[in-house]
Structure 1
Amino acid sequence: MQSNLTKTQKTQQHEHPLVAQFIDMLWLEQGLSDNTLSSYRSDLKLFRLFLLECDTDIDKASFDDIVRFQHHLVELKRAKNTVTRMISALRRFYNYLQTHHLIAINPTSKVVMPKADKKLPKTLSQQQVEALLDAPNIDDAIENRDYAMLELLYATGMRVTELVSLQMPQISLQQGVIRVIGKGNKERLVPMGEVAVDALTNYIQYSRNELLKVSSDVLFPSKRGTQMTRQTFWHRIKAYAIRANISVELSPHTLRHAFATHLVNHGADLRVVQLLLGHSDLSTTQIYTHVAKARLQELHSVHHPRA
């Protein structure tokens, strides 16, 4: 078994050419993000490693191989959503190979996809959001930048990656809108609201030039004057949450979820929320109706005398 593993590990040092071709297609034709491409590559690499230990390779996989891989993932106690994502990646890969006549039979064509668990996104109450937004000290240049970023996140519901990538030409303070470039390089216009516009105006007027080291269009530079990473801003959010005594477990999308949930709670049309979030499918947005219902049930159980 040890010799097999050694052989497999040596083979794994080289990506299969069909996998490389598939990843290139996703990048060139669909403009997927680096994180998404990395996820596809990782899933296909894991499947190939499984196959190589069974003395076959990814271009020779059969329906039975796919089923065995599913069972293997279950035995490893992988989450149902993870299994669903991996099988979905395999299906997309083999659909691509069959469409381009690189394989004769698609081994995933009869595979039954496991149903993913619907997890309600963690969000914040309006009071918690206000406490978080009040945490930065706007007299400090870096914290003034962070305040503008937090206000913009909550006002627009954009992704953190979209936020840190913003360039000056993408904003219009006069019209109060921002041109967001989302997944697949798709653009959407999102209104900012008066509070976010004021926060952004103040930051640009008093703090941005102090942070810039060289001439740049980056809207929110790091303390080194370059584009900030999403990880850096995520750490900043957690620090402000601690300062605001927020004990809820946060994620990089917490304010995005809060934006959508609070809109739905106040009666916003689901399709409008879909456009603002940049979701390609309405079913993705519908999760926020479940969040709103869950919150109503929670309030009812706490405050109703006969709950």
Structure 2
Amino acid sequence: MPNLAVQNFKKAYDPYLFSSMDLIEDFFLFLQTNNYSPMTIYHYKNDLAIFDNFLKSRNLRIKDLDKRLIFEFKAYLSSNERQTATTHQEGAIRLSSASINRCLSAVRAYIRFLIEQDFDTPVVPDQFKMVKRERSHPNVAELGELVSLIESPSIIEQDPVIAARNRAILEVLFATGMRISELVNLNRRDLNVEGKIFITGKGRKQRFVYLTERAQDYLDQYLRLRNDSQQALFIPTKTRSKDKLSSRLTPRYIQERLKTYREKLRINLPTTPHSFRHGFATYLAEEGASPAAIQILLGHESLNTTTRYVNASDKFAQESHRKYHPLAERSK
């Protein structure tokens, strides 16, 4: 017997038109229940809007897709013809290979969702093959410049609490290599007395990162200045939020302060919170840390073929961190 629920579902929605917003919302709910991060879902919404613009510009629907149109879509993403998700204006800046691949991943995920809902699709997700990523070697500031940047809040900030907090933030970023999004979501309970921090990263993947003694000292100094019961590890000194117990620093604030410090120090190389992550990995590697240990510390899923044979563990990663971090043995 035919599945009446599926038949009624198909009558209610046209999966081949993005105007079927109910189905799109079901898709985003599907992503949420499958532990996709809020940031990934946000980007997927924009990416699917770009795909929708591509289809509309050619009076097409998903059921019209074939290998040729997939090729055209990839070319569309690489060109200035591409319309932005929100303004529908032509994109003045070419997308990077990483952004193109994320957009393709969003479409693949939607096609996969349609298949799981028993809709017929003319293509399968794997036909949206990823483009080859360009090799990039991020510019990393000299270690001396990074150290000066880390120490700058203690000199530049007038408010002692802000100075201690911002110094602790930069110390933690460089000590652990964590992402800025991971740092602003830290709670006090995530940190143990040994300087081991449990974090949930991209894709809800969990891992440990480790503080240097130096970073632990500055974090302790900051926490001793606080007189509150808030769970967040880093909090604003002033907030407009009615719920003060849940207020946190924003990535934007940290980015803006870091820009100010860099300009005052006249560091020419653009330095962002993510630059500390690049510096963390670069200088660990230069000191001799195993790429496999760095992979674990950064929370990356894979290494290239040459590092497959390195036997790594969390314990090994922690030992490598203590042994090779360039500031691990530096005095305050």
How far apart are 1:166 and its partner, in Å? 0.8
CA distance in 2, matches of 1:238, 1:148: 17
Q: Against the structure 1 CA distance between its residues 251 and 109, is the aligned structure 2 distance closer, same or farther, given a 3 Å change threshold?
A: same
CA distance in 1, matches of 2:66, 2:24: 17
> Using a 3 Å threshold, how does the CA distance of structure 1 residues 93 and 284 change in structure 2: closer, same or farther?
farther
Change (3 A) 1:252 1:283: farther
**What RMSD, in angstroms, separates the aligned Cα atoms of the two structures?**
2.5
Matches within 5 A, 1:75-114: 75-76=79-80, 78-81=94-97, 82-106=99-123, 109-114=126-131
Q: Deviations over 1:155-194 (max 9, x none)?
A: 000100111111110111x212111121222221222110
Q: Supply the distance in 1 between the matched residues of 2:188 and 2:305 (Cα, whole angstroms).
A: 30
Q: Is the 8 A contact 1:62 1:107 kept in 2?
A: no
Say yes or no: does 1:279 pair with 2:295: no
Q: 5+ residue gaps in structure 2?
A: 1-16, 81-92, 240-246, 308-332
* Residue 216 in structure 1 maps to residue 230 in structure 2: yes
The change in CA–CA distance for 1:240 and 1:228 in structure 2 (over 3 A counts) is same
Compared with structure 1, are the counterparts of its residues 192 and 15 closer, same or farther at alpha carbon in structure 2 (3 Å cutoff)?
A: farther
- Correspondence for 1:195: 214
State how far apart, in whole Å, the 2-side matches of 1:43 and 1:85 are.
8
The 2-side partners of 1:129 and 1:265 are apart by 15
2:248 matches 1:227:
yes
Distance in structure 1 (CA, Å) of the matches to 2:223 and 2:72: 56
Q: CA deviation at 1:92?
A: 3.0
1:57 aligns with 2:61: yes
Alignment check: 8 A CA contact 2:258 2:272 kept: no
Please tell me whether the aligned partners of residues 98 and 106 of structure 1 are also in contact (alpha carbons under 8 angstroms): no
Give the conservation status (yes or no) of the 8 Å contact 2:186–2:234: yes
8 Å CA contact retained: 1:190, 1:276: yes
Name the residue aligned to 2:77. 73
Corresponding residue number in structure 2 for 1:136: 153
Contact 1:63 1:107 in 2 (8 A): no
1:23 aligns to 2:28 (yes or no): yes
How many correspondences in the alignment?
A: 268
Indicate the percent of aligned positions where both proteins have the same amino acid: 31
Answer yes or no: is the 8 Å Cα contact 1:171–1:179 preserved in 2.
yes
Pairing of 1:106-185 with structure 2 (within 5 A): 106=123, 109-137=126-154, 140-172=160-192, 174-185=193-204
Distance 1:140 1:271 in 2: 39
Query: What one-letter code is carried by the residue in structure 2 that aligns with 1:124?
Result: A
Question: SS where residue 198 of structure 2 aligns?
Answer: strand
2:63–2:122 Cα contact (<8 Å) kept? no
Specify which of 192, 217, 237 is matched with residue 258 of structure 2: 237
CA change 1:255–1:15 in 2 (3 A) is: farther
Q: Cα offset for 1:285?
A: 12
Distance 2:164 2:176 in 1: 18
User: Which protein has greater RCO, CA pairs closer than 8 Å, 6+ apart?
Assistant: 1
Question: Could you tell which deviates more after superposition, 181-190 or 270-279?
Answer: 181-190
Displacement of 1:197 in angstroms is 0.7
**Structure 1 residues 66 and 228: alpha-carbon distance in aligned structure 2, compared to 1, 3 A threshold:** same
Residues of 1 paired with 2:63 and 2:236: CA distance? 45
